[in-house]
Structure 1
Amino acid sequence: MAILKQPMKEYDNAAYRYYGPSDLKMLPLMSWDVYGLYFDTLCKNYEDLVSLKRLSDQNKWMDVPNLNKALIENELVILVTDVKQKIVHATQNMVAMNGYLPHEVKGRRPTMFQGADTNEKDTFEIRKALKNQSPFEAVVLNYKKDGTAYNCWIKGGPIFDTSGELVNFIAYEKVVA
């Protein structure tokens, strides 16, 4: 057992240097067989968490949502738009939901996912909530990059800076039956 102590200490030190003082949960090396999927998810989403943290710092978000829980535990897609509803950040896991890579949607509006059979009533309610700077929740018929329709649960709302000014909107999304 003494033989394993030194490599484990080196692993812990290396992991700490890599992940820094973030609030991400660290996994002991011995648990990879049980927590391998969580660790894979953590690695895939780490860059998104760093980017979202940078965005929240730059825009001085008043209330930073629990992005770790939304992205890693709940596996939600996160879209952030500016006040004109142009996408400024999309998480990497979006490609599994609709086939779009994040760089393909940046600068565009989330309406790009809508199509001929998208319910106008649902989109009107979302637009009304955005105009009123209110939270919203809806299921919308969206379209993948290949044209396939899917039901998308969306929960979103405004993000204000520390002075109370609207700076972004955030939406959490997932495919539902």
Structure 2
Amino acid sequence: MNNFRQYEDAIAMYHNGLNIKKAPVYCWDFHSDFLAAVKNFFLDLNKLNSIASQNKWIQNNWDLKNSLKEEVIIVTDTKLKILFASHNIEKMNGYVEAEVLGKSPKMFQGEATNQITSNEIRKAIIDQQPFEKIVMNYKKNGEVYACLIKAFPVFNIKGKLSHYIAFEKAA
């Protein structure tokens, strides 16, 4: 027992002699934010897979897992009403999914949005063609930002137009 006490005293003396600067931890939010991001990633992936399987989408070569980490994914019906928006939308423009569901993606556009680009997008949608454009959009707080949109028509296994999917990120 005596040897153990000498060992503890030696360790205490060693640690007391160290010159360590302490920095207080003010907040553990970084851990909470990480867990929320992981949870949201899986929620979004499950919703997308559910929409795809329910509507019998044909196989596409989209890398949804990586896209969900880096981009906002928006799915609309054929009438361009938003059915799904990934959680990343809040970081990009301040909206949460509940605020955009049932609305048109035009809700992000305004005076600074180029009408020529909007017309090109409209034509691609009518022709059921994919497109890639940079659009001037508006955040929830009114701030303008450039948004790179890569959008695709989505067809079901019968070849009928089912949805549109867009992969977006600030340009």
Q: Do the structures match in fold with TM over 0.5?
A: yes
Structure 1 counterpart of 2:81, from 78, 86, 89: 86
Displacement of 1:70: 1.1
Letter in 2 for 1:95: E
1:69 alignment counterpart: 66
Distance 1:131 1:154 in 2: 17
Identity %: 44
Question: 1:47 pairs with 26, 39, 43, which one?
Answer: 43
Q: Equivalent residue for 1:130?
A: 125
- Of 105, 109, 123, the residue aligned with 2:104 is 109
Q: Deviations over 1:96-146 (max 9, x none)?
A: 000000010000000000001110011111110000000000000000011
Rounded Cα–Cα distance in structure 2 between residues aligned with 1:40 and 1:103: 17
Shift of residue 157, structure 1, vs aligned partner: 1.1
Q: Compute the displacement of 1:43 (Å).
A: 3.1
Residue 95 of structure 1 aligns to a residue whose secondary structure is helix
Paired with 1:38 and 1:139, the residues of 2 have a C-alpha distance of 30
Query: What is the rounded CA distance, in whole Å, between the counterparts of 1:130 and 1:123 in structure 2?
Result: 11
Provide the TM-score with structure 1 as the length reference. Answer: 0.74
Give the total of aligned pairs: 138
Quote the residue 2:93 is aligned against. Answer: 98
Amino acid at match of 1:124: N
The amino acid of 1:66's aligned partner reads D
Match of 2:18 in 1: none
Kept in 2: contact 1:118–1:142 (CA 8 A): yes
TM-fit CA distance, 1:63:
1.9
Q: CA contact under 8 A between 1:138 and 1:154: conserved in structure 2?
A: yes
Q: Where has structure 1 moved over 4 Å in runs of 4 or more?
A: 37-41
Aligned equivalent of 1:149 = 144
Which stretch shows the higher mean deviation, 91-100 or 37-46?
Answer: 37-46
Are the equivalent residues in 2 in contact too, given 1:82–1:88 (CA < 8 A)? yes
Q: How does 1:11-26 map to 2 (within 5 A)?
A: none
Three-state SS of the structure 1 residue aligned to 2:47 is: helix
Rounded to whole Å, the distance in 2 between the matches of 1:83 and 1:123 is 17
Partner of 2:16: none
RMSD over aligned Cα atoms: 1.6
User: Any stretches of 5+ residues in structure 2 without a counterpart?
Assistant: 1-32
Q: Is the 8 A contact 1:85 1:110 kept in 2?
A: yes
Q: Is the 8 A contact 1:63 1:159 kept in 2?
A: no
How far has the Cα of 1:166 moved from its partner? 0.3
| Mapped pair 1:161 → 2:135 | no
